[in-house]
Structure 1
Amino acid sequence: MSQVAIIPKSTQFFSASRDRMVMMWDLHGTSQPTQQLSGHAMVVTGLAVSPDSSQLCTGSRDNTLLLWDVGTGQCVERASVSRNLVTHLCWVPSEPYILQSSEDKTLRLWDSRGLQVAHMFPTKQHIQTHCEVSMDGYKCISCSNGFGGEGCEATLWDLRQTRNRICEYKGHFQTVASCVFLPRKSTLMPVVATSSHDSKVKIWNQDTGACLFTLSLDGSGPLTSMAVGDTSFLLCASFHRGIHLLKMSHGQALELQDVAAF
């Protein structure tokens, strides 16, 4: 399975895999999918559910984005861009826009009303592996592949003034596979987190790019993805040791502690 996306405030979720299919499941249903969506010619690498849960956007290595009606399971829009090998999708909160990262080193903002490219951010020097939008919908972050410290960074962008990057986060030595905005308590500075194939999770000052904390998960191999729980916990997936449960402490300094793996 390559991607999973939850339908907010429901027991349903979507999954995508290398068989080019997208399935809808119900946690309270049977072991069989409630819908099967077929339309991509290659592995599906991006899933994003609209804020009102009425639409699903899927992206693939076939250079194509598809927009689906969640209620009927029908494809309602299709768009294709040459060399646009999708690596990740996320929907902008409370907006009709979808953010998409690509192997062509580009970050795109799509308008779901007709599925047209609304904006292309300046092309980076390396493949963009992941993208994420802040909870308020004002900023986004993307991260890149690389090796030996070349590339291996995350970049912060402003979705309202999209011409230039705001900040870069450099310090990993291998591909940065995931980046997230961390929820913060009102008294703390805004922070982001990155996970990398160098087995490290880093926390950064969102505004200055300063690295605030580094957690080394030695023996876990490449770290592939992250998910935010609340202001206290973070999940991090790894190649060799499953999923790590990381506890965030907000003392004099922000810290991460590896408390469990499953």
Structure 2
Amino acid sequence: MAALEVEEELEALKAQLPASSREVTENVSTASETQFTNPEIEPEILAIEPQPPQTWKCTNVLQGHEASVNTITISPDGQTLASGSQDRTVSLWNLKTGKRIFTFFGQAGEVSTVAISPDGKTLVAGGFDNKISSWRIETKELICSFFYLNSPYSHSGFVSSVAFSRERRILASASGDQTIRLWGGYTGEFKRTLNGHSDTIWSIAISPDHQTLVSGSADKTIRIWSLNRLAQPRILSGHSSWVTSVAISADGNTLASGSTDGTIKFWNLHSGELLRTIESQSTEIFAVAMTPNGQILASGSMKEVKLWNIDTGELIQTLPGCSPVVFSPDGQTLLSGGNKGTIKIWSRILGGNEFDSLSSGEWWEVLGVDSDAHPDEVKLAYRRLARQYHPDINRSASAISTMQAINKAYEEFLQKLSKAWL
């Protein structure tokens, strides 16, 4: 019954295709009808470029937050992750088991940024209560809140981003009040304020040699600041909309920036030269992260996560996740946001292909949804995957096998749905 429902739905959609497209689809269906149910695609999908073989697989989905996850970070030893959410909590998780270790309550607003100190001992968070708070990870006790001069707050606007220098000498914070503030990384003592941006600062990053700080702002600019001397920042222009995320490569030579203009730009951090621009084909980019070896960049939007080859600018893979994104220290694990307050853990599959990675998960993992997702959401996810992996569009050798796995997952969902109606 489930297989019949899949075929009926796809046949109904098939009638919407142009005649030439139907001929191609029918030819493929005749040649391989014993291998997989032919998924239907909508006319505009024919312009999608072929996708390369999949190399990342969703290995776990962490559930616990009651609202969207705004920020994720991983400890330097790669064992623990921290997440901040719109539900006003910060959670610690065991990255290996996926179990939640502890939840910190008491935030007066949604949490927009978290960071773990380089020694792995301290967790810092900031958000819409205009405060930065810190906790000891081992004992889970509150250390302090960071106060600006005589104010009861850290900033006069929401805290959008925090970052430690590698040796923990400095904690930097950015805010909707258009300023960056520098604090003692151990003491929380206020050091100085960096002024210059004319709009909300969305993201900051500190170079590995802790000499340079980079900021991206809603004023459409990137600014490069010296942490050791009082000097005017170098200003990089090129984005046509908000600069929402900045990341510095592990070797300290390359800066990546993401923007709501839908582009990702790579810059030489030392000279400020624009090296490459990637058109992401997503409406807005809200997060970027680079692997430690400098080979892959992940970009996160509200709808998907994309992986890019940094050297060539080529798309490696599209994942059914969303912003935020962060790589583990060894570059073998990627964390991203998911649906309904979830966090998705993606693992790199060396030498794998679409079928290997898609066929080994539960139906909801294959389709990239929650196990209790609404039927309409599941159908949309199925259609999106069909658009991406249908052999008429995807020319990779494993496209047919991958489509088999996707159809099998959708059939399992329909079977579960039919049983629920009985």
1:208 corresponds to which of 312, 318, 322: 312
Give the TM-score normalised by structure 1: 0.85
Answering whether residue 168 of structure 2 is matched by residue 53 of structure 1, we say yes
- Cα distance, 1:82 vs. partner? 4.8
Higher RCO, 1 vs 2 (CA within 8 Å, ≥6 residues apart): 2
Residues 57, 193 of structure 1: CA spacing in aligned structure 2 closer, same or farther, 3 A cutoff? same
Residue 173 of structure 1, aligned match among 282, 289, 300 = 282
CA-based RMSD of the aligned residues comes to: 2.5
Any unmatched runs of 5+ in structure 2?
1-110, 149-154, 371-422
* Per-residue deviation, 1:84: 3.5
* Structure 2 counterpart SS, 1:99: strand
For structure 1, which segment, 5-14 or 109-118, has the greater mean C-alpha deviation from structure 2 after superposition?
109-118
What letter corresponds to residue 309 of structure 2 in structure 1?
N
Matches within 5 A, 1:239-258: 239-251=339-351
Match of 1:135 among 233, 241, 250: 250
Q: CA deviation at 1:21?
A: 0.6
Asked if structure 1 preserves the Cα contact closer than 8 Å seen for 2:298 and 2:305, the reply is: yes
- After superposition, what is the alpha-carbon deviation per residue over 1:10-64, rounded to whole angstroms, capped at 9, x for unaligned? 3212110111110111012244x20110231010112111111011111111011
Q: Distance in 1 between matches of 2:125 and 2:232?
A: 25
Structure 2 CA distance for partners of 1:216 and 1:224, relative to 1, 3 Å? closer
Conservation of the 8 A alpha-carbon contact between 2:168 and 2:186: no
Aligned to 2:325: 226
Q: What is the correspondence of 1:22-171 to structure 2 with a 5 Å cutoff?
A: 22-31=132-141, 33-39=142-148, 40-114=155-229, 116-145=231-260, 151-162=261-272, 164-171=273-280
Q: Structure 1: how far apart are the matches of 2:178 and 2:354?
A: 40
| Structure 1 segments unaligned to the other structure (5+ residues) | 146-150, 218-222
CA distance in 1, matches of 2:268, 2:298: 17
Q: Secondary structure at the match of 1:240?
A: helix
Shift of 1:257: 5.7
The structure whose residues are more often strand, as a share, is 1
Identical amino acids, percent of aligned pairs: 21
CA distance, structure 1, for counterparts of residue 354 and residue 264 of structure 2: 19
1:132–1:180 Cα contact (<8 Å) kept: yes
Q: Residues 304 and 323 of structure 2 are in contact (CA less than 8 Å); yes or no, is this contact kept in structure 1?
A: no
The one-letter amino acid of 1:36's match is S
Instruction: Give yes or no for contact 2:249–2:292 (8 Å, CA) kept in 1.
Output: no
Post-superposition CA distance 1:218-254 (Å, at most 9, x none):
xxxxx22111113321000135251011122232779
Contact 1:248–1:256 (CA under 8 A) maintained in structure 2:
no
Q: Any conservation in 1 of the 2:206–2:213 contact (CA below 8 Å)? A: yes
Contact 2:197/2:217 (CA < 8 Å) preserved in 1? no
Distance (Å, rounded) in 2 between the aligned partners of 1:14 and 1:65? 16
What secondary structure is seen at the aligned counterpart in 1 of 2:270?
coil
Paired residues of 1:247 and 1:257 also in contact (CA < 8 A): no
What are the Cα deviations for residues 189-211 of structure 1, in whole angstroms up to 9, with x where unaligned? 922121112x2221212122111
Distance in 2 of aligned mates of 1:69 and 1:116: 20
Q: Which deviates more from structure 2 when the two are superposed, residues 63-72 or residues 103-112? A: 63-72
Q: Which residue pairs with 2:70 in the alignment?
A: none
- After superposition, the Cα gap between the structure-2 partners of 1:79 and 1:155, relative to the gap in structure 1 and judged at 3 Å, is same
AA matched with 1:3: T
Q: Is the 1:191–1:205 contact (alpha carbons within 8 Å) kept by the matching residues of 2?
A: yes
Equivalent pair of 1:205/1:212 in contact (CA under 8 Å): yes
Distance 1:257 1:87 in 2: 35
Cα deviation, residue 67, structure 1 = 0.8
* Aligned mate of 1:196, from 262, 276, 301: 301
Please state which structure has a larger fraction of its residues in helix. Answer: 2
Partners of 1:73 and 1:15 in 2: how far apart? 13
Residues 115 and 163 of structure 2 are in contact (CA less than 8 Å); yes or no, is this contact kept in structure 1? Answer: yes
Name the CA distance, whole Å, in 2 between partners of 1:160 and 1:256. 42
| Cα distance per residue 1:97-131 (max 9 Å; x no partner) | 11111000111111112464431112421111101
What's the TM-score once normalised by structure 2's chain length? 0.54
CA distance in 1, matches of 2:185, 2:295: 34
> 1:148 is matched with which residue?
none
In structure 2, the residue matched to 1:220 is none
